[in-house]
Amino acid sequence: MPKFDIIGHRKIWYTLSLLIIIPGIVCMFIKGFNFGIDFTGGTIIDLKFSQPVEITQVREVLHAYNLGNNSTIQLSGAATDVTSSQDVMIRTIDLEESERKAVMASLKEKLGDYTVLREEKVGATMGSELLLNALWATLLSWVLIVLYVSYRFEFRFGVAAVLALVHDILIVLSVFSLLQKQLDSSFVAALLTIVGYSINDTIVIFDRIRENLKLHFRRGGDINELVNHSIYQTLTRSIYTVCTVLFTTFALYYFGGETTKDFSFALLVGFTCGCYSSIFIASPLWVTFREWAEKKRDRQRLAAAK
């Protein structure tokens, strides 16, 4: 039974990715991102209630002021059980005095009396300098990946692998910008996790291509057919791996509560497009680069013959 020609249809995969990335980039410039309090700073309120309260109860009160999804709520002190405590720390966006008083009044009305242990405004924990350092670290990691993969395989493999990583990050950023999902410090951790997962899957396929190339040079054959064969040899592993990871991540998204939803959502999007890019972007890109190099050599030979 003939298998689907993945490499032969690579222009379709490029187009599908661009249909997500280009609108996403436009949205990044027009709408920007919904930065969380880790980037923008905010207000910390530390309260001790007269009776134990749950995180969900506090969040319901904050939802009335559109703060539920923009706040981090932590239980502290001696908790009566896993989900409730008298000591609650709320970290939310920067509140005006009138907004703060209204929130505090609602908390007292719906959850009971409390004592204010601490109340202060804080700056962003991830300032512009830290973001710039993170950007430089990411770029440095891409350079090192290109160098390492070039050493272990060849330069075209390294470039294709890094472009696949850029593809994954752009798609995640595009989705978060389009949906205006909140970006905080956990989002940065999610991006780094996605990069690690995606490059691992890509290297497995590249290693299979390298092994098959040795037979290819001895027996001859079509390069597209060779890469297709290599992808199908590792396809079962890729599907099993991504399904296992997605099942776990979906469980975290569904059962993990509000504080982990954006983090797990980023992982769901990133792991999915990471598996997609390893199969449908990285390997086809390597074939495209190889064809460009062969055409360039042919043109040079023709020019030299003249």
pLDDT digits (tens, 9 = 90+) for 108-155: 888 888 888 888 777 766 666 667 777 787 788 888 888 888 888 888
Q: Which of 72, 92, 122 is the C-terminal boundary of a domain?
A: 122
Q: Note the pLDDT tens digit of each residue in 18-48.
A: 999 999 999 999 988 888 777 777 888 888 8
Whether residue 274 sits in one domain with residue 148: yes
In a domain, 140, yes or no: yes
Same domain, 58 and 109: yes
Pick 173 or 55 by higher pLDDT: 173
Query: Which of 100, 122, 144 represents a domain boundary (last residue)?
Result: 122
Instruction: Kindly state the percentage of the chain with pLDDT values over 70.
Output: 92
Residue 230 has pLDDT above 80, yes or no: yes
This prediction has a pTM of 0.81
The reply to whether 4 falls in a domain is no
Domain identity same for 112 and 183: no
Return the higher-pLDDT residue of 24 and 75.
24
Q: What's the rounded Cα separation, in Å, for the pair 74 and 72?
A: 7
In a domain? residue 20: yes
Per-residue pLDDT at 105 exceeds 60: yes
In this structure, are 134 and 102 located in the same domain? no
Are 141 and 251 within one domain?
A: yes
116 lies in the same domain as 132 = no
Asked whether residue 76 falls in the same domain as residue 161, the answer is no
Q: What is the mean pLDDT of the chain?
A: 85
250 and 291 fall within a common domain: yes
**Confidence (pLDDT) at 80:** 44
- Domain residues for the domain of 87 are 42-122
The verdict on 94 and 20 lying in the same domain is: no
What is the band of 69 on the pLDDT scale with cuts at 50, 70, 90?
confident
Query: Are residues 192 and 200 in contact, defined by beta-carbon separation less than 8 angstroms?
Result: no
Give the residue from 122, 150, 167 where a domain finishes.
122
pLDDT band at 268 (very low <50, low <70, confident <90, very high): very high
Contacts of residue 35, Cβ cutoff 8 Å, sequence gap at least 6: 182, 183, 184
CATH of the domain at 113: 3.30.70.3220
Q: Are residues 162 and 256 in the same domain?
A: yes
At 78 the pLDDT is 47
